[in-house]
Structure 1
Amino acid sequence: TTKAALVVRLVPWPRQTPHLNNMAPKASEVDNSVLSPTKGPRSKQTSTQEMCLLSVYVVGVWISFLVYAWVQEALAKEDFDGEIFKFTHMQVMLQSFANCIMAFIGIIFESWCWGLPFHLNAGVEIRHWFIASLGYQGAHFFGIQSLHYVSFPIQVVCKSCKTIPVLIGETLIAGQKASVKKWVSVCTLSMGVLIFL
């Protein structure tokens, strides 16, 4: 399987959103010279480069998450001239703004390097993005507020149980019927979190 075919499969979530099926570029429309510089079987050098790149990404995620955790907990716990940081809404808004900028840069990069369609909304109606953004704001607001009472590791562990309300919401609101395998996976994950606590 070529990288071009892999990109076609990954853009974007065709099973969940049928109206996006026509957005994915055809294999003939993708510039293979960008995604696959050499024809034929993958070389060891390419595999080594990809493993190095994956290692950089993993370490980058770890470092970023550690810094994020340290700053979040410091803001929530430390006293600033006798007062605790209370501007949680502003903090979440700034986070969202930074996320928008990074996402916009990512869309431009994909469009420029891979020749993918330039869609700011990914073909999804604005009202759906609005609902998702409200959920994002609420999740981060309550998550940051919880740091006044628990440590960041405890917060992260408890957030791992969020799969249960998500699964219930999919069933009651979206009308999607989850498989037995999915229910077992979610319950197993949650039980593991409870045992850890």
Structure 2
Amino acid sequence: MGMMAAVTLDIKNRNLEDVWENLQASLVSANGIEPVALSIVFETFDVMIFIWCETPETLNQYIINRLRSIKGVTETTVFFFGEMKEIKHENIDREPGIDGLLFMDIECGKDQHVFNAMIEKVGPEEDSTFTKFVSFCLHSQNLDLLVGFKGTNLYYLEKLFNKIRLINGVIDVNVMMFSRFKTLKEYTLIQERFSWLV
């Protein structure tokens, strides 16, 4: 069956462009591992990688053997995606990639309510600003939901975030913006298997 994970690499004392190029060359499929997309986090300039894995154990070995050995990587953090739902909005052209993630802390017992509200009530804002997917977050003590979003206009993005903050059960929302995003597979393959990215 497998699962999706987001792996964040903390980059220190290393040219980010070098790390970016090296990662694109070294992120190859392995036994039970398939790298899907790569992004640079705005402001912190850390790198986030979206990886499909058969089990958390296979991903852990991949991180140890391939990612932690890259020069400049000082720390790795992993978030596993649980039940995921792509959010489709009418009359909006889907561009490849996402512009960032929302990390959501939810009141105990209200996870499913917020999950459903994200799908049913949070529509697109103006200027092609919208949510792309919502997912439960597994194996994390302080994160409950992950939400992918698209939009380059910060004013309308803030309107979108405020609408999400008002959902009953949402305790806190942290925004992670991407300054660069690149899929590591052909568009058709991404569209077929990982449609929430496109």
Q: Which one has the largest radius of gyration? A: 1
Compare the two structures and name the one with the higher strand fraction: 2
TM-score, normalization by structure 2:
0.23
Compare the two structures and name the one with the higher helix fraction: 1
- Greater relative contact order (CA < 8 Å, ≥ 6 in sequence): 2
TM-score, normalization by structure 1:
0.23
